[in-house]
Structure 1
């Protein structure tokens, strides 16, 4: 849609960090009015865009202002879509189906900001597949980072018995019944069209999204001779302890800037 990524409104939002300005944004994505959070460093250093793609669905894994401000304070203009149907936005999330357009439109929104020179894409958990799909769609993506990222929707269905009911509901059935809908949501099948360098971050003890997701995409990228780096952590799960979390945020943002 021609309006995708156009900002309808932006209102000041309380920032947890005095060095970062936050705004609650309403923007167009697939003809819907979707909400998101925009953060930028007050000192004007945010010339690199950072599309933050959250994990979870609905209230699970929702965008946290402190997390967005944390990335912005590393010198990025960060945009974090809430995805359709959340926090007052129109439509309904469908776990990497049509709601990928919310990510695509978010990329366009960042690119349209006059001070943003290039845009990186970051995905956490189910945001991992959103990030890879976005980077595949936009070859100009500067870099893509997934952290505990989903790369294979069939594998998620197998591993997460607790999510099967939700997946069947939002996707429209099981992988046996609607395999093409799972394939559509699995970036592994389209990865040869990816141009951006990739960084994979994963705790080997992750029970939410197994490290196998990163292994699979890494193997595929290496077979295709694509630039990929992986940081695996033996002792961590889906969530890293605060001190380590801060270090990894600093390291990954430095990695992005060096691409």
Structure 2
């Protein structure tokens, strides 16, 4: 890993939807690339836990939403959400949990370098689920991991999402049959024995974007290894929860994270 990973190069203030939360677009280094992300920090100087927000999608699908990360910051976290390489003015090309995992690792180091940040929690939504698990494996001191509607198995994504196959073949370089190792290295299920922090799995049972089978496979693997895992399955919801429920789950998962922290 490059010694300069996570180094902050530029700050640009960004209009915030919450007057008590400051938003900043940050350019930072990730293996020599200038990558961008957004920081959301509650006003003040008091130390708070860090929250690494790993988005889903690819390119313009699933972009980081300022209101969403401000929502988590309002729960009492300093939130950083990398855009991943090649997005919103960043250098390089996004790699769908390949080399762009380095952008998540470097974002973790960036958070760690901030004076106000104490323990760091990792959150992944959708494709961000695999990024979150990979980052937690890389940094065993992580306080907790939450995966919400998260991908855990890249081959399963290829099988289920016919609409994503062309993109996956282009970005990953072929099919799971032709390049099983490329899909395996993007599937952290095979490395769960290296995972240290507790995991919370949140998944809608009617999710058609990332089937609940991803949650079940992750849960099964963690339980087989006797790793700490909690699961919140919602029978009636899809990939996206209604706003009122969503707000409640954000509050609940924030409390869960703080309960895992070493300092609360």
* Smaller-chain TM-score bracket: over 0.9
> How big is each residue's C-alpha offset from its partner over 1:24-82, in whole Å with a ceiling of 9 and x where there is no partner?
00000111000000010013456100000000000000000000100000000000000
TM-score using structure 2 length: 0.97
Q: Is the CA contact 1:40–1:46 (under 8 Å) kept in the aligned structure 2?
A: no
In angstroms, what is the RMSD of aligned CA positions? 0.7
- Give the Cα separation in 2 of the matches to 1:46 and 1:59: 33
- Give the Cα separation in 1 of the matches to 2:32 and 2:122: 22
**Alignment-derived partner of residue 175 in structure 2:** 174
* Deviating 4+ runs (over 6 angstroms): none
- Give the Cα separation in 2 of the matches to 1:100 and 1:31: 14
Change in 2 beyond 3 A, CA 1:46/1:247? farther
> How big is each residue's C-alpha offset from its partner over 1:123-142, in whole Å with a ceiling of 9 and x where there is no partner?
00000000000001100000
Q: Is the CA contact 1:45–1:75 (under 8 Å) kept in the aligned structure 2?
A: no
Q: Runs of 5+ in structure 1 lacking a partner?
A: none
Change in 2 beyond 3 A, CA 1:240/1:46? farther
> How big is each residue's C-alpha offset from its partner over 1:69-121, in whole Å with a ceiling of 9 and x where there is no partner?
00000000000000000000000001000000000000000011111111000
Q: Are residues 1:249 and 2:239 paired?
A: no
**Alignment-derived partner of residue 90 in structure 1:** 91
Q: Is the CA contact 1:118–1:141 (under 8 Å) kept in the aligned structure 2?
A: yes
- Give the Cα separation in 2 of the matches to 1:238 and 1:82: 21
> How big is each residue's C-alpha offset from its partner over 1:164-187, in whole Å with a ceiling of 9 and x where there is no partner?
000000000000011100000001
- Give the Cα separation in 1 of the matches to 2:63 and 2:76: 23
- Give the Cα separation in 1 of the matches to 2:215 and 2:174: 25
**Alignment-derived partner of residue 156 in structure 1:** 157
Q: Is the CA contact 2:47–2:118 (under 8 Å) kept in the aligned structure 1?
A: no
- Give the Cα separation in 2 of the matches to 1:203 and 1:45: 35
Q: Are residues 1:200 and 2:207 paired?
A: no
- Give the Cα separation in 2 of the matches to 1:44 and 1:226: 35
- Give the Cα separation in 2 of the matches to 1:257 and 1:244: 20
**Alignment-derived partner of residue 37 in structure 1:** 38
Q: Runs of 5+ in structure 2 lacking a partner?
A: none
TM-score using structure 1 length: 0.99
